[in-house]
Structure 1
Amino acid sequence: MPAAPEASGSGRIGVVGPVLAALLLATGLLLLREALVVLGAVSGAPWLPAAAEGLRGLAPAWWLVPAGLAVALVGLWLLVSALRPRSRRTLPLTSGTGVFLHTRDVARLAAGAAREVDGVLSASATATRRAVGVTVHGTADVREEVARAVTETLTPLRTAPRVDVRVRTGRDDERNDR
């Protein structure tokens, strides 16, 4: 069985898609209303001819150039955003079957490994594909023990991320409170 491909996140244009879909839906509803009015299925006057008649007497204005430029730049940004690679937030394991861990799961594993070290009162972690940051509150300087435990826990990853450990003791908290 071939290995599974690495999962990718949503594209960077994830917010724009629903907005454009809503605008397209509104345009479709407007055109449907116009068609029903013209066919006589709905009473009322058509809106589009009145809107076109209102635009008939407009002359060129200075503000149309910057507005057109702004619209062109937004369109270019949308095009570049749509063509950019999707985000990758998973890390492959050493298995040959294509098993991956999400970066938030790597952070959870790192925080759990740090909590198991003697002298650690609490731990939190953040992770990217290249680094894991662990912050621990402890009774002593347990930096080396935490780094060793986290590194050992993350050995099943194909490429081990860099581990950065910050230790806060009671004395540090007292200094930070002042």
Structure 2
Amino acid sequence: MSSSLVPTARPSATRVVAFYALLGIALGVVAVRDLAVAQGWAAGKPWYESAIEGLDGLSASAAATAVGVVIGVIGVVALIGALLPARRTHDRTEATPGLWVSRPAIATLAEHAAERTPGVYEASAAVRRRRVMVRVADSEPETAQRVEDSVKRALDGLTDRRIVVRRREVKVP
């Protein structure tokens, strides 16, 4: 077996963490501005003083509690999302060690193999969890077996998923 890394998607917490990073950058900009005002490099009143004065005298309310709970839940969800393993985006091939193939590529190969099968007018394919679904439009019932054989040959060594052919009969004038 090869020692190549498994191709995976980004962790699910990426968007939430990016949002928190933008908030941190905004807080840093405000801190630098307030530092400049405090040192006399810029005119005005520090924003943190205005924020503290605005919060002075407030007590816990239902709205403040709700906002705090929502922020806490978002943090817990981000933490769980960061700890969960990222989903795989590719499948390891049987034929060549270290070679990975994406699910859309498997579907495209299956679709092209089905389209090249005699008697098929139209074909589409999708990769599901444990199978490759191929939908064909044909005029003969025995075409489904030919499509299945053709797709199996095209995907030989690339995937071990079961191939399922769904056919729709087309009337030929």
Give the TM-score taking structure 1 as reference length: 0.84
Provide the C-alpha distance between the structure 1 equivalents of 2:123 and 2:17, rounded to a whole number of angstroms: 38
Provide the C-alpha distance between the structure 2 equivalents of 1:69 and 1:11, rounded to a whole number of angstroms: 24
- One-letter code aligned to 1:146: V
Tell me the equivalent position of 1:148.
149
Provide the C-alpha distance between the structure 1 equivalents of 2:69 and 2:51, rounded to a whole number of angstroms: 24
> What does the per-residue CA deviation read over 1:59-106, in whole Å, with 9 as the maximum and x for residues that have no partner?
222344443333322221111111001111211112453111011111
Q: CA deviation at 1:129?
A: 4.7
Provide the C-alpha distance between the structure 2 equivalents of 1:58 and 1:38, rounded to a whole number of angstroms: 26
Answer whether contact 1:89 1:129 (CA < 8 A) is retained. Answer: no
Tell me the equivalent position of 1:161.
161
Tell me the equivalent position of 1:174.
none
Runs of 5+ consecutive residues of structure 1 not aligned to the other structure: 172-178
Q: CA deviation at 1:5?
A: 2.3
Provide the C-alpha distance between the structure 2 equivalents of 1:139 and 1:34, rounded to a whole number of angstroms: 76
CA RMSD of aligned residues (A): 2.1
Answer whether contact 2:91 2:101 (CA < 8 A) is retained. Answer: yes
Answer whether contact 2:17 2:78 (CA < 8 A) is retained. Answer: no
Which consecutive segments of 4 or more residues in structure 1 shift more than 4 A?
none
Most deviating of 89-98 and 108-117:
89-98
Identity across aligned pairs (percent)?
A: 29
Answer whether contact 2:140 2:169 (CA < 8 A) is retained. Answer: yes
Give the TM-score taking structure 2 as reference length: 0.87
Most deviating of 27-36 and 132-141:
132-141
Question: Is the aligned partner of 1:18 residue 2:18?
Answer: yes
Provide the C-alpha distance between the structure 2 equivalents of 1:30 and 1:138, rounded to a whole number of angstroms: 66
